[in-house]
């Protein structure tokens, strides 16, 4: 089994999986952005406007998602905690990409019980072969922790292509 720790860029997007949770006081962590209240307001404004866009749905927790590509047939769905293989790109609301398995040309494999809550909730909504976009509020991402180049309090946007479900829902 390919370990998810080998995937170099996965630290930023899935730091809980990799076990490398870079705290805000770490040398690798970005400092709090200037104008923290403005930063938080920008994140909230983005999510509020995004929720109104066509095709976007919002779960009770605040996770937003949009289906970009349908599965061919009835592909399996993962259950919470399933192991999956995905291609993904993660970016901040300003479009800055902080991690991409596409750029590395290597999909990532990991269990859904070891990722940020937004992924743990969102990926089980997908079928194998589908591509979704997720807008994840900070509370379902890294909260007020800075992680690598992700500032504290950041909403995150992920494009996720579910390639393989190793342990599908029953």
Active site residue 142: yes
Active site residue 158: yes
**Which position among 99, 132, 136, 150 bears the catalytic label?**
99
Helix (H) or strand (E) holding 16: helix 15-18
Beta-bridged to residue 168, according to DSSP, are 78
Active site residue 134: no
**Which position among 116, 136, 150, 157 bears the catalytic label?**
116
**Which position among 65, 110, 134, 158 bears the catalytic label?**
158
Active site residue 98: yes
**Which position among 65, 98, 132, 134 bears the catalytic label?**
98
Q: Are 158 and 119 in contact (CB under 8 A)?
A: yes
**Which position among 65, 132, 134, 142 bears the catalytic label?**
142
Active site residue 116: yes
Write the burial class of residue 83 (CB in 10 Å: 0-12 exposed, 13-18 middle, 19+ buried): middle
Residues designated as active site: 88, 98-99, 116, 142, 158
């Amino acid at each position: 089994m390919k370990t998810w720790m080998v995937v170099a860029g996965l630290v930023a997007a899935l730091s809980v999986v990799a076990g490398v949770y870079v705290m805000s006081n770490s040398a690798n962590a970005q400092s709090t952005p200037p104008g923290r209240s403005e930063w938080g307001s920008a994140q909230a404004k983005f999510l509020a406007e995004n929720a109104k866009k066509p095709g976007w749905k919002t779960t009770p927790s605040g996770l937003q998602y949009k289906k970009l590509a349908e599965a061919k047939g009835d592909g399996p769905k993962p259950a919470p905690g399933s192991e999956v293989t995905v291609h993904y790109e993660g970016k901040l609301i300003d479009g800055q990409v902080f991690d991409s398995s596409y750029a590395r040309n290597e999909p990532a494999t990991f269990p859904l019980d070891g990722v940020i809550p937004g992924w743990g909730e969102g990926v089980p909504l997908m079928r194998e072969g589908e591509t979704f976009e997720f807008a994840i509020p900070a509370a379902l991402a890294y909260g007020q922790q800075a992680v690598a180049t992700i500032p504290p309090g950041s909403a995150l946007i992920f494009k996720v292509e579910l390639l393989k479900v190793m342990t599908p829902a029953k």
